[in-house]
Amino acid sequence: MKYFSTNDKSIKVSFREAVLNGIPLDKGLYFPEKIPTLNKDFFEKLPNLSNDQIAFECILKFTEKDIDKVSLRKIISETINFKFPCKKLSNDISVLELFHGPTMAFKDVGARFTSRVLSYFNSYSDKKVTVLVATSGDTGAAVASGFHGVEGIDVFILFPKDRISKVQEKQITIHSGNIYPVKVDGSFDDCQKMVKEALTDNDLMSKFNFTTANSINISRWIPQILYYFFAYKELIDSDKNIAVSIPSGNFGNLFSCLVSIGMGLPIKKVIASNNLNNSFTNYITSSCYEPRESIKTISSAMDVGDPSNFIRVAEFFLNDHDSVKKVIDAYSFNDEDTKIAIADLYEKYNYICDPHGAVGYLGVKKHKLLNKDFSYIFLETAHFSKFMDETRDCIKTSISYPDEIEKLLLKDGEYHQINTYSQFKNYINSID
Ligand SMILES: *Cc1c(COP(=O)(O)O)cnc(C)c1O
C-alpha cells in the first residue's frame, strides 16, 4: 500500500515514510492509493471477533509489511486497551462512548497508536524525532499522555489561549521531560498554520527530524476506522439502514468513517454534525468550500474554521460534490440548541452528555425529522467532566468530577507563551 500526496498523485510513499514525514513537502496530505477492502469472510465472522482481532485485520491492510505482525498486535493491544460501549437510548438511537481512554476523549486512540508506531520506527535510528501538534484541546491532552516518557521523541503542543477547558489545559501542561506545551495567543487555526509552516520550513528541517501527531498524519485516522466497526457490530441485527452522526471539527474522525465504508461497512448515511463553525455544512448546501475564521462555541474542540481533512473528504469522492451529498448530510447548530440538547438527553434518557456529543445528538434528531427507517448511532467524543461548566449549566442536578480529574486540577501546569511564528521557531531552536 502506497500513499500519494493530494497535491501531486505521482508522489508516492510507504506507510512508514508517510508517518515519519507527517505531511508531503508540497503541503498536500497523504492519501491511500487505494482504499483496502475486507472480504465476505471477515464480515461473516465479525460478530464473533474481539476488538483486538477486528483491529488487527483492519490496520494490517494499511501497514502491510512496514510493521511486523507480532509488533502490530502489541501496538494494537496497547492502543485500544479500554472499552467502547454502545448504549441504547431508545429503539432507534444509540450512543457510542469513545471517552474511556486515559484522557477521556476519542483522541486517545489515534494518539496512542501514533506514539507507538513512531517509537517502533524510531527504534532503529539514533536520531531524535520531534513531533509538532496543534490542538483544540483534546488532541494535545491525548498526545501528551500518549508520548510522555517515550524515548527519543520530543513533542511540542500548540494550544490556543483561553479557548480550551480547564481540564484540557491541565492534561496538556502537567507533564515535564519530553513534552513542551506552547500557549498561542490566537485560535486553533493559527496553531495549525504554525505547525504546517514549521513542518515545511527548510531551516528547521535541516536541524530537526519533524513529524506531526495531528490528523494530518495518517497514523491518527487509521485506527479511528475501528470505531465504526465496533459500532456496526452492535447494530448488525438491525433491519434498518444505519446512520452515524459524527460531531466534527477537523473532520479526521468523519474521514475515518468514510474509509470504513470504503472497506465494506454497510453504513448508509454519515451525518456531519457541526457547531457554528460551518464551512463544511455550507459546502454541502452550496458546493463551495470557503474556509472561515473560527468562532468560539461551547463545543470548543470543534471550533475549526478550515478543517484540514476537508481535502481528504473531497478526495475520497474524487472531488465530486454530488457523490459527497449522497453519503453525507451536514447540519450546523448553535450553542442554544446544544444546551437544550444536553438538557433533553438528561430528561428523556437520564444520560449526561458533553456539548460535543450533544451536537452529534442534534444531528440525529434533525435527520430523523426528515427521514424514516434508520437506526442511528451518535458518537459521544468526550466525557462530560472535560467540559464540566458547560454541561453542569444545562442539567438541573449537581454533578461532580471523577476522582482522577479532581486530583489533576490540583496540579500546577507549565507552558511557554508565544504570539508569532518566529517566536515559535526561536523556541524550537532553543531546545535540543
Ligand atoms: C477533536 C474533537 C472533535 C472533532 O473531531 P475531528 O476529528 O477533528 O472532526 C469532536 N469532539 C471532541 C470532544 C473532540 O475532542
Q: Where are the beta strands (DSSP E) in 143-302?
A: 153-160, 179-184, 210-212, 241-247, 267-274
Reported as a single tens digit per residue, the pLDDT across 252-296 is 999 999 999 999 999 999 999 999 999 999 999 999 999 999 999
**Residue 431 within any structural domain of the chain:** no
DSSP letter at 245? Answer: E
Mean pLDDT for the stretch of residues 171-199: 95
**Size (the chain), residues:** 432
89: in domain: yes
pLDDT in tens, 15-29: 999 999 999 989 899
State the residue range of the domain holding 243.
85-103+221-399
Kindly state whether residue 78 falls inside one of the protein's structural domains: no
Has residue 341 got a pLDDT over 90? yes
* Residue of 106, 308, 328 to mutate, ligand 1, most atoms within 8 A of C-beta: 106
Read off the pLDDT of each residue in 181-193 and give the average, rounded to a whole number: 95
Q: Is the pLDDT of residue 234 over 90?
A: no
- Taking residues 102-108, report their average pLDDT: 96
Per-residue confidence (pLDDT) for residue 124, from 0 to 100: 78
In a domain? residue 1: no
What integer pLDDT is reported at residue 297 of this predicted model?
Answer: 96
Which amino acid belongs to residue 322? D
pLDDT of 328: 98
What distance in angstroms lies between residue 127's CA and the mean position of ligand 1's atoms? 32
User: Does a structural domain hold residue 148?
Assistant: no
| Confidence grade of residue 215 (pLDDT, cut at 50, 70, 90) | confident
Atom 14 in ligand 1: residue holding the nearest Cα = 301
CA–centroid distance, 419 to ligand 1, in Å, is 25
155 falls within a domain = no
List C-alpha distances in Å: 79 to 179, 278, 279, 339, 422: 20, 32, 32, 33, 35
Looking at residue 238, what is its pLDDT? 84
Which residue has the least CA distance to atom 8 on ligand 1? Answer: 250
Q: Which of 302, 311, 379 to mutate to test the pocket of ligand 1 (most atoms within 8 A of CB)?
A: 302
Q: What is the pLDDT of residues 398-424, one digit of tens each?
A: 899 999 999 999 999 999 999 999 999
Q: For strands 8-13 and 179-184, give the pairing.
A: unpaired
Task: Write down the pLDDT at residue 138.
Answer: 94
**What percent of the chain is predicted at pLDDT more than 70?**
100
Residues with CB under 6 A from ligand 1: 105, 107, 138, 215, 247-254, 301-302, 356, 381-382
- Using the mean position of ligand 1's atoms as its centre, give its distance from the Cα of residue 19 in Å: 21
CATH code of the domain containing 270: 3.40.50.1100
Taking the C-alpha atoms of residue 2 and residue 36, their distance in angstroms, rounded to an integer, is 11
Q: Give the mean pLDDT of the chain.
A: 95
The cell numbers describing 309, all together, are 481533512
- The protein residue whose alpha carbon is closest to atom 2 in ligand 1 is 301
Q: Which residue, by CA, sits nearest to atom 15 of ligand 1?
A: 138
* pLDDT tier for residue 396 given thresholds of 50, 70 and 90: confident
Least confident of 11-15, 258-262, 394-398: 394-398
Domain-located, residue 170: no
At residue 432, does pLDDT exceed 80? no
pLDDT on residue 176:
87
User: 182 CB contacts (<8 Å, ≥6 apart)?
Assistant: 156, 157, 158, 159, 415, 416, 417, 418, 424, 427
Question: Domains in the chain: how many in total?
Answer: 1
- 33-89 pLDDT, tens digit each: 999 999 999 999 999 999 999 999 999 999 999 999 999 999 999 999 999 999 999
CA dihedral 385, 389, 394, 398 (to 10 degrees): 70
Does residue 216 lie in a domain region? no
Q: Does 362 have pLDDT greater than 80?
A: yes
